Amino acid sequence: MNRNEFDKGFMATKVVILYGDVLPPFKHIRKILNKYGKYYLRDMNMEDFQEDNYYDVRIEERHTGLTYREPLDAVPVIPVKKEYLSKLLNIFKALNGNVCLCKVNHEHPIAWVQGVAYEGYCFYLDNGEEKVLFLEEYSDNEEQYFNVKELYWYKRIPQDKRWIQIDVNENTEKVFLQWLKDLVPSDVYQKG
């Protein structure tokens, strides 16, 4: 069996990132996913059904707000017909928060600033030209990580500065380190 025959019948995966300080309520996300799930189940019963006409779409969140938001139990994945993907994105764009379509590949940059390790999460946008980078956790002992939302200086960062978009060709680790140096006040030596 050659590679093309092997790939037939398998859905490519796309990632939809919902991010920002305000995100859609879970009930709205579930309603959207249920709607597209019903479309898929309906289409499966059609004679001309081909699974490779669909994407497996993962919905991930990066809540950058300071209020508590219950995390998703699991990352929802829903099959979406390729021709309906832009409609799905537009539905999410009409709700609260920011939306971007990303590839599955991602990075976890780590940088040390003033004796504290910070970890980020970097997604590659589907346009192939940019990446979006989030600051997520920190640790001063290399064993247990904490959410950056606990840090007083993080709380002072303007909401639209809690992520950055960079060129896909930029070195993520270097950009992450420079971003942290710009964010972390010079008088910070320990968590707080």
pLDDT tens for each residue of 108-119: 999 999 889 999
Quick one: average pLDDT of 46-68? 92
pLDDT of residue 188: 66
pTM: 0.86
**What tokens were used for 46?**
């059609």
127, 168 contact by CB (below 8 A): no
- Which residues contact residue 50 at a Cβ distance below 8 angstroms, ignoring those fewer than 6 apart? 9
**What tokens were used for 52?**
């490779």
**What tokens were used for 122?**
């970097």
| Sequence spans of domains, the chain | 1-103, 108-192
**What is the C-alpha separation between 86 and 92, in angstroms, rounded?**
10
Percent pLDDT > 70 in the chain is: 92
58, 102 contact by CB (below 8 A): no
What value does the mean pLDDT of the chain take? 89
Taking 3-state DSSP, the helix, strand and coil percentages for the chain, each rounded to the nearest 5, stand at 30, 35, 35
pLDDT digits 0-9 by tens, 158-174: 999 999 999 999 999 99
Q: Sorting pLDDT into bands at 50, 70 and 90, what band is 191? A: very low
